[in-house]
């Protein structure tokens, strides 16, 4: 009886230490990806973390890719670039750069795990221009 109470108390303490971020991350697992809209979800991620001075804007287009809202889709799915391999996030440069925390570079804000998950799901779903 005491053991059950102790286990219950420890379980309750562990749950009470969860933050909103942990709750949010639990919704960002690789199983059962929700439909991800390029325009509603992916473009805002690119805009926040990539489309800035000295990075992936038209004036500087680091790595030969521009990720502003007008050009991003056609830049990332261009055949032969490897930026996005529709249906295969693990073989897509953009997912790997975000997922391995290579981009954005140190010193810049990085996307959350959920934002990286949205990129993964979008690519897994065929990288549609939706």
Confidence of residue 78 (pLDDT cuts 50, 70, 90): very high
The pTM of this model reads 0.74
Mean pLDDT of the chain: 78
8 Å CB contact between 38 and 128: yes
State the pLDDT at residue 31. Answer: 63
Q: Which residue has the tokens 């973390």?
A: 49
CA atoms of 119 and 82, how far apart (whole Å): 15
CA atoms of 82 and 86, how far apart (whole Å): 10
Per-residue pLDDT reduced to its tens digit, 90-127: 999 999 999 999 999 888 999 999 999 999 999 999 99
Alpha helices by DSSP H, listed for the chain, are 2-16, 20-26, 43-49, 72-76, 93-99, 113-124
Is the pLDDT reported for residue 22 higher than 60? no
**pLDDT: which is higher, 83 or 4:** 83
State the pLDDT at residue 29. Answer: 60
State the pLDDT at residue 114. Answer: 92
């Amino acid at each position: 009886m005491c053991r059950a109470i102790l286990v219950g108390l420890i379980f309750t303490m562990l749950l009470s230490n969860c933050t909103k971020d942990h709750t949010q991350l639990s919704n960002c697992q690789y199983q059962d990806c929700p439909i991800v809209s390029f325009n509603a979800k992916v473009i805002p991620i690119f805009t926040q973390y990539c489309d800035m001075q000295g990075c992936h804007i038209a004036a500087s287009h680091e790595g030969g890719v521009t990720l502003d809202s007008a050009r991003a889709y056609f830049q990332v799915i261009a055949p032969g670039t490897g930026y996005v391999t529709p249906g295969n996030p693990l073989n897509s440069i953009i997912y790997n750069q975000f997922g391995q925390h290579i981009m954005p570079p140190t010193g810049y804000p990085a996307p959350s795990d959920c934002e990286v998950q949205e990129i993964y799901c979008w690519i897994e779903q065929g990288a549609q221009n939706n």
